Amino acid sequence: MFSVASARQELDKGNVSSLELTRACLARLQAIDSELHSCLLVDEKGALAAAAEADERLRKGERGSLLGIPYLVKDILMTKGLRTTAASKILENYIAPYDATVIRKLKKAGAVMLGKTNLDEFAHGSSTENSAFGPTKNPWDLSRVPGGSSGGSAAAMAAGLCLFALGTDTGGSIRQPASFCNLVGLKPSYGRVSRFGLLSMTSSTDTIGPLTRTVEDAAMVLELIAGRDTKDATTLSVPVGDYHLPLSQGFKGLKIGVIPSYFEDGLDEGLRTEAIRALEIFKKEGAEIINLDLPYNQYSVPVYYVITPSEVSSNLARFDGIGWGRAEEGADNLLSFYKATRGHGFGPEAKRRIMLGTFALSAGYAEAYYKKAQAVRELIKLDFAQAFQKVEVIFTPTSPHAAFKLGEQVNNPLAMYLEDIYLAGASLAGLPAISVPGGFTEIDGQELPFGWQFIGPMAQEASVLRAAAAWEKINNYQERRPNL
């Protein structure tokens, strides 16, 4: 399967057409996805029409980074005229009336949308087991999860069903699936990519980003979807850079920060050994390794899981069966109607987060929980700001381990929340972060992928792309494919 960059060259030379690429993706999707369950919707008619239009633009001499490139999108982004469910029964038959800004940009660029991918309901989860329409499986081992909440996008990319996929990352939901599926997963800075048309989970940390085969592909997608948007007041006014420029700079002279506690208890022993080896490679390639102390970052998971349910409870209040979503019949008063509609429409994890958040925001408790969490969040931001006066990027594992078994943690919310232990800090601080294939570890006689994370200063996506590209060129782990 082509990377975005290699497909771009072949399309521009006329060696392959967008229709050929699109038909190949659709055929593979039809052949494989019944096992993976990575997609909730396939728009074959729309994809073929978009591919034909892209080929016409190519024949006329037009060129563009994503013109004619087939992709999939997480089903939490609005797609005009198509179902947008957020993997929830409450939106099972909802047809989006407009396109999200990122979808509009991709359409204008001539990219070809194949369909919508599965996720944890409303992006609440780390395994894609919370989908109302069934779990997605990991292409590297069908008995394991692909990660979450962007697990459908990750599984589809790993299986070669598309050339890139869009996910969302609120506390790790692009980076963790990328780690589990041997992909590059980029979480841009908060506000770098417009959230207009995203069904909000946690409005203060939601980001949209790519899952790709290579770092270069991630840079290509980000360049197109990033930028200021008048429909999203939180978008940054900082200009979008040429993200290709740093990809060839390597490790030489790069100051890389390390948090020693991240490589102690809680990290899989095999990954710890590989992390030490990676640090030696960084130094051999000319990087300077600097130990850091981020004292408040140890509280990032509890802070995140106070702030996130609080915003979830507010954001999901709109889905009441009147203005949005399914409406249950037979209720004889408004309270009964709400109970029936929301009780049947929301899954267990959505209900759990709504209740936790409502409690944290309630009279008498908001001061003790929500406001205190926000105060610690500011200290976490300060930790990172001080660290980036000394280093250019921070290196961490993406996840404490490789992909776990389906069902292994589904009844243990605390264990699932701790999946974000290396990820939540960057989200709370709004920083860019990337997961890049780190290698493979043997579990039960099988080799499974894992990832390394690089975190950068606010609006400095170039820094994390540079570090990830330097690692990728040394190891080429991205060239390995699951045996499907």
Which residues are known to be catalytic? Answer: 74, 149, 173
- In this structure, what is the dihedral angle of CA atoms 206, 210, 215, 216, given to the nearest 10 degrees? -130
- Return the CA Rg of the chain: 21
Residue entry with tokens 């229709």: 19
Characterise 117 by phi-psi region: left (phi > 0), alpha (psi -120 to 50), beta (else).
Answer: beta
Could you give the count of Cα atoms lying within 13 Å of 457 in the half-sphere of its Cβ? Answer: 12
| DSSP conformation letters of 13-34 | HTSS-HHHHHHHHHHHHHHHHH
Total Cβ atoms within 10 A of residue 16? 16
Cα separations (Å) of 399 from 48, 199, 272, 405, 416? 38, 26, 11, 15, 12
Is the separation of the CB atoms in 137 and 60 below 8 Å? Answer: no
**Can you tell me whether residue 484 is helix, strand or coil?**
coil
Could you give the count of Cα atoms lying within 13 Å of 118 in the half-sphere of its Cβ?
28
Distance CA 138, CA 412 (A): 20
Q: Which residues pair with 71 in a beta bridge?
A: 113, 164
- What tokens does 354 get? 């709504």
Measured CA to CA, the distance from residue 178 to residue 454 in angstroms comes to: 13
In angstroms, the CA 153 to CA 137 distance is 11
Fill in the amino acid letter for 186: L
Tell me the three state secondary structure of residue 66: coil
